[in-house]
Amino acid sequence: MNAMSRIIAIANQKGGVGKTTTAINLAASLAVAEKRVLLVDFDPQSNTTSGIGADKEDETRNIYTCLSGDVPVGECIKDTDLEWLKIIPAHRNLAGAEIELVTQIGREFFLRNILLPLKEEFDYILIDCPPSLGLLTVNALVAAESVMIPIQCEYFALEGVTDLMRTISMIRDSVNPSLELEGVVLTMYDERTNLSQQVTQEIRTYFNERVFETVIPRNVRLGEAPSFGLPVLMYEIKSRGAQSYLKLAKELIDHETKSVG
Ligand SMILES: Nc1ncnc2c1ncn2[C@@H]1O[C@H](COP(=O)(O)OP(=O)(O)O)[C@@H](O)[C@H]1O
Ligand SMILES: [Mg+2]
């Protein structure tokens, strides 16, 4: 049994806070540290899929066809440019699952049933969630052992976070009692503004030690890399964006090692 193995949902129902950027770049950074990583794109917008250079038009082999039971999950796991990083791509058809699942028995457990058997094969399974608290995000939070919350250092940063925390606590009280808060990641930090500093203070006060020390700066390379289908460390390793995600991965690995040992 692999003690380090962990399923982490990257969630925040606000759009544009850095979920996908964190999913891609944290996954790639863990992979270059020779962790076996599976990235699961669980957003119908498929930005993680295209951002890693995978095919978002593959209608037969993606997370939606896994969910529907049409294709075995093994056939939906695809290689990436990084040896240690695999992806299960999303497809826009996944949007339909939100509605189709509602009437199914065990509707909250579909993703868990797909991912649990893969735990032996991977050290980290990262799930990129859509920007809502609907059934897809609930499936991700039920499948996950912990949740990582990216929060953008902007006005109203904490708006909606209480709704997310309430959803997490409802899931803990019902179907996934051991769901942990992996931590909050501060994203798009702009050191030149007082605002970023104020927001950081506010978030650290609210979440205390559950905020990662590593702060992700606003960095143009992070915005550019997905249009080349590359994680930023393959696009410009020296950029502050790439370095910050490598640091975040290290912090996560150390964190796990501590909680295991
Ligand atoms: N640290 C950053 N610096 C610069 N641009 C960023 C950063 N993080 C995200 N972005 C850009 O901001 C937009 C929203 O980020 P994204 O990761 O897609 O958010 P979400 O998945 O939460 O909707 C994207 O265009 C992305 O490239
Ligand atoms: Mg996204």
pLDDT tens track for 202-248? 999 999 989 999 999 999 999 999 999 999 999 999 999 999 999 99
Is the pLDDT confidence value at 1 over 50? no
Query: Cα(204)–Cα(29) distance, rounded to whole angstroms?
Result: 25
The predicted-structure confidence for 118-170, as pLDDT tens digits, reads as follows 999 999 999 999 999 999 999 999 999 999 999 999 888 888 899 999 999 99
Ligand with an atom nearest the CA of residue 18:
1
Q: Is residue 87 within 8 Å of 37, Cβ to Cβ?
A: no
Length of the chain: 261
Cβ atoms within 10 Å of 22's Cβ, excluding its own:
23
What is the pLDDT confidence band of residue 261, given thresholds at 50, 70 and 90? Answer: very low
Q: Which CATH number fits domain 6-260: 3.40.50.300, 3.30.930.10, 1.10.760.10, 2.170.190.11?
A: 3.40.50.300
In degrees and rounded to multiples of 5, residue 165 shows phi and psi of -65, -35
Q: Closest by alpha carbon to 63, among 51, 52, 53, 78?
A: 78
Q: How far apart are CA 50 and CA 46, in angstroms?
A: 6
pLDDT tens digits for range 29-57 = 999 999 999 999 999 999 999 999 999 99
Position 257 scores a pLDDT of 64
Closest atom of ligand 1 to CA, residue 12: 22
CB 12 within 8 A of CB 146: no
| Ligand 1 in reach of 227 Cβ (< 6 A) | no
Of 113, 160, 104, 166, the C-alpha closest to 140 is: 113
Tell how far the Cα of 21 is from the centroid of ligand 1, in angstroms.
5
User: So where are the chain's domains?
Assistant: 6-260
